[in-house]
Amino acid sequence: MPIEVKNDFDAKNLTTFKVSGLIKKAYFPKDITELSELLQTKNNPLVLGNCSNVLISSCGYDGDIIFTSKCNTINFDKNKVYAECGLKGPMASKLAYEHSLSGFEFMIGFPGSIGGEIYMNASAKDQAISDNLIYAKIFDNKNKKILELSKEDLDFSYRHSICQDNNYTVLCAEFELKEENQNVIKSQMDYNLDFRHNHQPSLALPNCGSIFKNPENNSAGRLLDSIGAKNLSVGGAKVWENHANFIINYNNATSEDILNLMLLMYNKVDEGYNIKLCPEMIYIGNKSQKEAKIWKALNGK
């Protein structure tokens, strides 16, 4: 069967931010064989997983986007775990718990997928996706070939992997987890969920997670709170009242609403502390002239 493709696809319901934007061509491979085939034949398509850390421009995207949600196989061999890029983090966490394996507890509250979490080296509560990774299969989009990279090769650091520098796409990965009593694992998972519920908005309030990265030895949320960010809003977007580093799409916000609000937050912290926050969210699409200018400013250019 041919690979599933949809033209002029509105990705609104696939993103946790729930911002409308038409994708010229959206592809939905059913496994990493089809994903690799697309990456081999298409000219630099974007690849997205659960779209939990992504803002798509309301102006849409005049190109190809591959959504990996169907590439979600996971296999267990004792304490070794093989997972494909589209597998959602909470599912990986639950299945590891069922196999009495520790190391994925932090993912129970993450809406992201394995590929995206490796790409950005996701972490929480003293655990990171890189901690137990043995290797990842990567598609090198420049040279059109598959690589097998070790944990060391992936050059992990805070919210960073080599994939961001070299135009690599994560296909799948193998992990080595630690055998542990299920009660211990469950206790950590419950703690992580409680923390998330108390400190981060649920996806019933459309958002994309943390807006800005934490500056070194500092907290973006604390800085934003101190300059009164919780009172800020632009159009249909507002800062969440319980944590200043989250933006809520509460009334059909456009991407421009969200970027304008981000710039307001960014400028107030810069004026108050001479600290330039760095966006954690990924922004893609056909940027309007104003959006392009704002995004450039937010990235210190």
Which residues span the domain enclosing 233? Answer: 220-298
Whether residues 185 and 235 fall in one domain = no
How does DSSP classify residue 246?
Answer: -
Residue 267 inside a domain? The answer is yes
Residue 59 inside a domain? The answer is no
Q: Which two tokens stand for residue 221?
A: 């949320």
Q: What's the rounded mean pLDDT across residues 138-157?
A: 96
Separation between Cα atoms, residue 253 and residue 274, nearest integer Å: 29
Q: CB-side exposure of 66: number of CA atoms within 13 Å?
A: 28
Q: CB-side exposure of 71: number of CA atoms within 13 Å?
A: 31
Whether residues 117 and 180 fall in one domain = yes
Round to the nearest angstrom and report the end-to-end CA distance of the chain.
46
**Residue 46: its pLDDT value, please?**
93
Read off the pTM.
0.90
Whether residues 233 and 175 fall in one domain = no
Whether residues 193 and 263 fall in one domain = no
Instruction: Give the whole-number percent of the chain exceeding pLDDT 70.
Output: 100
Catalytic residue annotation? 159, 210, 280
Q: Which two tokens stand for residue 149?
A: 């990279």
Whether residues 269 and 183 fall in one domain = no
Whether residues 233 and 176 fall in one domain = no
Whether residues 248 and 294 fall in one domain = yes
Nearest Cα to 176, choosing from 83, 86, 84? 83
Give how many domains the chain has, as a whole number.
2
Higher pLDDT, 278 or 112: 278
Residue 263 inside a domain? The answer is yes
* Cβ contacts of 209 within 8 Å, gap of 6 or more: 16, 52, 53, 111, 200, 246, 280, 281
> Which H/E stretch holds residue 269?
helix 255-273
DSSP characters over 1-29:
-PPEEEEEEE-GGGSTT----EEEEEEE-
pLDDT tens, position by position, 183-214: 999 999 999 999 888 888 987 899 999 999 99
SS3 (DSSP) at 278: coil
Q: Which residue, 199, 232, 261, sits at the end of a domain? A: 199
Whether residues 187 and 225 fall in one domain = no
Q: Which two tokens stand for residue 84?
A: 């494909």
Whether residues 113 and 169 fall in one domain = yes
Whether residues 81 and 170 fall in one domain = yes
We report the CATH number of the domain holding residue 230 as 3.90.78.10
Whether residues 183 and 226 fall in one domain = no
pLDDT confidence bin for 159, thresholds 50/70/90: confident
We report the CATH number of the domain holding residue 112 as 3.30.465.10
Separation between Cα atoms, residue 166 and residue 151, nearest integer Å: 16
pLDDT tens, position by position, 234-263: 999 999 999 999 999 999 999 999 999 999
Q: Residue 100: is it exposed, middle or buried by C-beta count within 10 angstroms (0-12/13-18/19+)?
A: middle
pLDDT confidence bin for 113, thresholds 50/70/90: very high
